[in-house]
């Protein structure tokens, strides 16, 4: 599943090409992808004639802010991909469920084989990224306003283990299985450490690790794993997978201490860690 670095990579690319362009047409080929709308025509009518103003991100959601207070919200789910192509490009793949055409002769295509992702049009009276449908999300993992002191207060009332808490989008938006493992390694914390047991120094390490790991991943265009599900707006793979410290490296030597990386399965998920560095 694309996480914050992958979504931020696409957001930046999309912001560079879509702003100022008007939607000429919208076509829906998969009803599940626009399931928040009772009628696909409602989705399309919220786009046609609107001009893209700017592009924002909330956690794993991309928000294309349009004029007249509408916002196109995109979530890639587990297998979703966005492509920016010329309208004269090859026909969309059979898993392309939404096509938005612009007055520039270009198209934004949303493909999603597993259909867990979605696209919907929301209204925002202030014409910014404040969308009611996303009000449940916690703080964005790259938001500077949540410092270590604020994070310490938030953790102090949580008895759950760190990894599931970091992956809880209502607590912090943007982290998933890959980057929670990488962040916890960077912070030298175990995945099953109780959140309210962290010392002041450990919280500081965790906050710094979240920022550092995510920024590094964004700089490398995100992570493309063996399944090649994630590609950027132009179909290019990310490169941060070559810098993973623990994720997907079971049995390999820790780059910090040479201990073998272990894999633990809990609640149906795999967690990768170094028992020595995170002990």
Q: What is the pLDDT of residues 234-277, one digit of tens each?
A: 999 999 999 999 999 999 999 999 999 999 998 788 999 999 99
The active-site residue, picked from 3, 8, 129, 182, is 3
Catalytic residue (choose from 130, 158, 188, 269): 269
On whether the CB atoms of residues 209 and 187 are closer than 8 A, the answer is: yes
What confidence category does residue 124 fall into, taking pLDDT thresholds of 50, 70 and 90?
Answer: confident
d(CA 71, CA 62): 10
Q: What's residue 31's pLDDT?
A: 95
- The answer to whether residue 128 scores a pLDDT higher than 60 is no
Query: What φ, ψ does residue 236 adopt, rounded to 5°?
Result: -95, 145
Mean pLDDT (the chain) is 95
Residue 16 scores a pLDDT above 70: yes
68 burial level (CB within 10 Å; 0-12, 13-18, 19+): exposed
Strand partners, 122: 71
Q: Distance between CA atoms of 206 and 185, rounded to whole angstroms? A: 9
Q: What percent of the chain has pLDDT over 70?
A: 98
Q: Is 269 a catalytic residue?
A: yes
Pairing of strands 139-140, 172-173: parallel
Distance CA 163, CA 268 (A): 13
CB within 8 A of 202, min separation 6: which ones?
Answer: 187, 189
pLDDT at 127 over 80: no
Active site residue 92: no
Nearest to 242 by CA among 260, 261, 216: 216
| Residues 119, 110 contacting (CB under 8 angstroms) | yes
Per-residue pLDDT tens for 234-246?
Answer: 999 999 999 999 9
Q: What is the pLDDT of residues 153-181, one digit of tens each?
A: 999 999 999 999 999 999 999 999 999 99
pLDDT category, 126, cuts 50, 70, 90? low
Strand, coil or helix: 155:
helix
Domains of the chain: 4-134 (3.20.190.10), 139-273 (1.10.8.50)
**Catalytic annotation, pick one of 11, 50, 57, 60:** 60
* 3-state secondary structure (DSSP) of residue 205: helix
Q: Is 8 a catalytic residue?
A: no
Measured at the CA of 214, the angle between CA 175 and CA 211, to 5 degrees, comes to: 100
The pLDDT value given to residue 179: 98
First-to-last alpha carbon distance for the chain, in angstroms, is 28
pLDDT for res 160: 96
> Is there a contact between 61 and 3 (Cβ–Cβ < 8 Å)?
no
Q: What is the pLDDT of residue 89?
A: 84
Which of 92, 85, 75, 70 lies closest to 32 in space, CA to CA?
Answer: 75
pTM here?
0.95
Give the pLDDT confidence score for residue 266 in this predicted structure. 83
Residue 22 · residue 72 · CB < 8 Å: no
d(Cα 54, Cα 60) in Å, to the nearest integer?
17
- pLDDT single digits (tens) 195-204: 999 999 999 9
pLDDT digits (tens, 9 = 90+) for 57-67: 999 999 999 99
Band (52; pLDDT cuts 50, 70, 90)? very high
- Is 36 catalytic? The answer is no
pLDDT digits (tens, 9 = 90+) for 62-106: 999 999 899 999 999 999 999 999 988 888 888 999 999 999 999
pLDDT in tens, 135-155: 999 999 998 889 999 999 999
Spatial separation of the C-alpha atoms in residues 165 and 167, rounded to whole Å: 5
């Amino acid at each position: 599943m694309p996480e914050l670095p992958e979504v931020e990579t696409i957001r930046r690319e999309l912001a560079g090409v879509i702003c100022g362009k008007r939607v000429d047409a919208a076509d829906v080929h998969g009803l599940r992808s626009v399931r928040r709308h009772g009628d696909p025509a409602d989705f399309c009518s919220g786009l046609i004639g609107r001009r893209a103003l700017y592009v924002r991100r909330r956690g794993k959601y991309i928000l294309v802010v349009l004029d007249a207070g509408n916002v196109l919200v995109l979530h890639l789910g587990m297998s979703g991909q966005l492509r920016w192509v010329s309208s004269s490009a090859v026909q969309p793949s059979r898993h392309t469920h939404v096509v938005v055409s612009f007055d520039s002769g270009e198209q934004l295509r949303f493909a999603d084989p597993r259909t867990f992702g979605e696209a919907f049009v929301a209204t925002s009276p202030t014409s910014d990224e404040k969308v009611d449908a996303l009000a449940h999300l916690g703080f964005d993992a790259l938001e500077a306003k949540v410092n270590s002191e604020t994070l310490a207060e938030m953790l102090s009332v949580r008895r759950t283990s760190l990894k599931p808490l970091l992956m809880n989008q209502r607590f912090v938006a943007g982290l998933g299985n890959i980057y929670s493992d990488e962040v916890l390694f960077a912070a030298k914390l175990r995945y099953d450490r109780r959140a309210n047991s962290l010392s002041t120094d450990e919280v500081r390490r965790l906050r710094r690790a979240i920022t550092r790991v995510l920024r590094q991943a964004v700089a490398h265009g995100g992570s493309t794993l063996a399944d090649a599900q994630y590609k950027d707006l132009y179909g290019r793979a990310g490169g941060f997978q070559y810098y993973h410290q623990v994720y997907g490296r079971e049995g390999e030597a820790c780059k910090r201490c040479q201990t073998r990386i272990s894999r633990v399965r809990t609640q149906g998920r795999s967690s990768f860690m170094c028992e020595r560095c995170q002990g």
